[in-house]
Structure 1
Amino acid sequence: MEKLLQWSIAGANGDKDTLNKIGGPDNKAIAELLGMAGPDEPTLMVEAMRVITNPEAELEAKEIAFDNFEMLSENLDNANNIENLKLWEPLVEQLKAEEELLQRYAASVIGTATQNNQKTQEDLLKYQHSMDYLLNILNDQQAGEPLKMKCLYALSNFIRHNEKGYTLFKEKNGWHVIDKVVSGKQLSAKFNLRLSSLMTSIMSTGPSDEKKTHIEKLFPSEKAQEILKSYEH
């Protein structure tokens, strides 16, 4: 603020030397001085979710709101705030939205918010139905591949180094669902990559004979060994 005052006085006096010395004014300081500072990021997250969950809002508006919400969730502090702001429940419920686009965004945000973040992984464990919703989508033959890939992304980041997350996956018959997804189907290279990522996340919770058996069943021998060897240490 002091710099802004100096800049203002120098400008009023036409003191070019001082103006050159102190440089231009700070935009944030100007905004605060004029009472124009925008809302903080937690407020923006709440407002975005309000649009997303508003049944009267246009789909395009919801898409923009989800874009903003995910961008904000990339910040660790903002991701950690999802629980404090009571936004996990409405976010998880979007996995059941009528529009597949919104389901895809919800899965993507879950994946982004829980990526390498123990706190948000633990927070999401409070909403165990999120695992049901993600697995139900993977089990749905009508769901598109882009949506299923986002669900794999969400599961991978939720489970990585998260033993309780893997236990929940197992209790909700996750292996059975994945077996059905893979069984007798021609999967794209991108889908197989997401599936491999989920397997490495599962292995990150600790190797076991059970996991080894499932992975060897799901993948060709060479790929299965690659996944298993990545966590032999």
Structure 2
Amino acid sequence: MLMQRNDLNPEIIDLLLGKSDAELMKEAMAIAVDANRSEDDRIDALDNLEMLIEQIDNANNLEKLKMWEPLHALLTSGPDSVKAHAVWVIGTALQNNPSAQDAYLKLAPLPTLTSFLSPSSGNSAASSQQIRSKVIYALSGLLKHNAPALAQLDSDGWSRLCQALQDPNIAVRRKTAFLLNSLLTPNETTTSSSASSSDNLHTPDSQQNQGPIHPNSHAAHLFQPGRASTSALTLEAMTKHNILGTLIDGLTNPLPYGEDGDKEEVDPDFEEKGVA
């Protein structure tokens, strides 16, 4: 009969076997939200968390571990550097992950995210630029191929995206133009799915032929084939809020940019993203 030893130190076991990713995520989050820890410690913890949630299974575990709420709360408290790293973690978790998109959208995060896009926010100039750039990254992760999220973007949110096309930081302008271009691009998968559905519209066994939908990160696209179609909503909003006019003006009469604000020519990268 095997005897179970009770005298083994848990720290030794962790050292030998290694902690699970879930445990590492919880430890990183505990440090990140601890206002008594140093700013550097909190940033390092968020960096570690970001590396962990690059794996899609770990990103999906944010909901299971109830981490979305404290992670989102970091955007409205703490130093600017912590906010910037928190929004970067959010953006990474959302990239090409409908399951994470749905989990985060439950917090109605768009007003908070878009509030950072105004250069006149209370943050310092340098940190404000850093946060705005990362917010566009997070918005890209949340809105791309996600019509339900895009439908929640209100007039104020669209107006702030319009402002971002004239941001003093050219990197923010580029990323905003690329995001809008991505949202305008018709989704080929959705088009193909719609055509396939039309072909089987009058077939009695059409539903059986589709097969079962298994729960996974991308099951939402199978449950909602039109979910990825964002072009019509985007075009309507861009017309309504004069975003098209602002984009054209940015290409024909660009605002100065650069460290000293001395560059007035059209930025080639912005031009490419704006007219693609």
TM-score greater than 0.5 by the shorter chain: yes
Deviations 1:27-70 (A, max 9, x none): xxxx97x9721210011101100001112111111111000000
Structure 1: runs of 5+ lacking an equivalent: 1-30
Structure 1 residues 201, 186: CA separation in 2 closer, same or farther (over 3 Å shift)?
closer
Matched residue SS, 1:187? coil
Structure 2: give runs of 5+ residues left out of the alignment.
1-11, 186-229, 252-269
1:206 to 231, 234, 249: 231
| 1:197-219 Cα shifts (integer Å, max 9, x gaps) | 22124325123542452441221
CA distance in 2, matches of 1:192, 1:186: 6
Task: Report how far residue 140 of structure 1 moved.
Answer: 5.2
Equivalent position SS for 2:16: coil
8 Å Cα contact 2:114/2:157 also seen in 1 = yes
How many pairs are equivalent? Answer: 195
Matches within 5 A, 1:21-40: 36-40=16-20
Checking the alignment, whether the CA contact within 8 Å between 1:199 and 1:215 is kept in structure 2 is no
Q: Work out whether residues 178 and 274 of structure 2, in 8 Å CA contact, stay in contact via their aligned partners in 1.
A: no
Structure 1 CA distance for aligned equivalents of residues 22 and 71 of structure 2: 15
Cα pair distance change 1:65/1:218, threshold 3 Å: same
- The TM-score normalised by the length of structure 2 is 0.63
Residue identity in the other structure for 2:148: K
Q: Quick one: percent identity of the two aligned structures? A: 29
Aligned to 1:105: 85
Q: CA 1:172 to 1:99, structure 2 compared with 1: closer, same or farther past 3 Å?
A: farther
1:70 maps to 2:50: yes
Say which structure is richer in helix. 1
Sort the Cα spacing of 1:41 and 1:104 in 2 relative to 1 into closer, same or farther, 3 A.
same
Rg comparison, structure with higher value: 1
CA distance in 1, matches of 2:272, 2:119: 29
Q: What is the one-letter code of the residue matched to 1:111? A: G
CA contact (8 A) 2:29 2:67 kept: yes
Kept in 2: contact 1:203–1:228 (CA 8 A)? no
1:146 has 2:130 as partner: yes
Q: What is the match of residue 112 of structure 2?
A: 133
Cα distance in 1 for partners of 2:249, 2:115 equals 28
Distance apart, 1:220 and its partner CA: 2.1
* Residue 190 (structure 1) aligns with: 171
Q: For 2:175, give the aligned amino acid.
A: R
1:12-51 aligned within 5 A: 36-51=16-31
Q: Alignment partner of 1:139: what SS?
A: coil
Higher relative contact order, structure no. (Cα contacts within 8 Å, ≥ 6 residues apart) = 2
- Are 1:164 and 2:144 matched, yes or no? no
Change (3 A) 1:84 1:216: same
Take 2:39 and 2:15, find their aligned partners in 1: how far apart are those partners?
32
Q: Distance in 2 between matches of 1:105 and 1:86?
A: 19
CA distance in structure 2 between the partners assigned to 1:229 and 1:148 by the alignment: 22
Cα RMSD (Å): 2.7
